Amino acid sequence: MRFTTTPLGATGPGDWQVIDTEQTAFGVGYFVAVQQGSTLTFKIEHGWSVLPTDEQQYSSITRSTTTATLKVPSALIVKGAGAPFDGTFQVASVTNQNTITYTVANSGATTAITGGFVRLIRTIDDPVVVSKSSSTEGNLAFPCSHIRLNLTAWSAGAAVLTLLQPSGN
């Protein structure tokens, strides 16, 4: 069995957790534990990504203060570009069909290392776990390739997403 936890203590999404979609009998159980005394709201997001077609080499990434501009069809995961460009990000704006922007730290390089990759992840909110503020559990009966916890509002405390997926074929 595969067991993963993702703790969050600030507004924003956690890292995407990759789900094994090659299982004969697909199933994922999840539990979001909200720390006692927390003041927060969260949702679960599902993502779909098809490799290798949804992962491609980017043509350029530049930074001006806290805005990074990525030239590629669109992406949420950047790897191999170097700090501050690598990581999981929300798309801040879509400039045109080939360019998006996302927010990064206002320090480090202003141009990315060449040769990195971005992965397109199509995202949708879980239809049940949205605008929650207390611990909750659920399951995914239908395949998706990624899942994450997103704190949509936060002023105190923390929430932890725990995933459990059976292994084997």
Rounded Cα–Cα distance for residues 48 and 111 (Å): 29
> For residues 116 and 60, what is the distance between their CA atoms, to the nearest angstrom?
9
Residues 95 and 62 both lie in one domain: yes
Q: Are residues 110 and 73 in the same domain?
A: yes
**CA 64 from centroid of its chain's CA atoms:** 23
> What CATH number corresponds to the domain at position 133?
2.60.120.380
pLDDT digits (tens, 9 = 90+) for 90-136: 777 777 766 778 888 888 888 877 777 777 777 888 888 999 999 99
Query: What domain count does the chain have?
Result: 2
Q: pTM value?
A: 0.70
Domain hosting 43: range is 2-49+124-165
Do 11 and 62 lie in a common domain?
Answer: no
Cα gap 7→162, rounded to integer Å: 9
107 and 135 fall within a common domain: no
Greater pLDDT, 57 or 63: 63
pLDDT at 40: 94
Q: Same domain for 114 and 59?
A: yes
Could you tell me the CA-to-CA distances from 79 to 18, 57, 133 in Å, in that order?
15, 10, 32
Residues 79 and 102 in one domain: yes
Distances (CA, A) of 126 to 53, 58, 108, 130, 144: 25, 30, 36, 7, 11
Please give the average per-residue pLDDT across 41-70, as a whole number.
79
Same domain, 86 and 112: yes
Over residues 125-169, the pLDDT tens digits come to 888 899 999 999 999 878 888 888 999 999 999 999 998 887 665
Do residues 72 and 19 both lie within one domain?
Answer: no
Q: Are residues 107 and 133 both part of a single domain?
A: no
Same domain, yes or no: 78 and 109: yes
Check if the beta carbon of residue 147 is closer than 8 Å to that of residue 47: yes
Does 94 share its domain with 128?
no
Instruction: Judge contact between 149 and 31, C-beta under 8 A.
Output: no
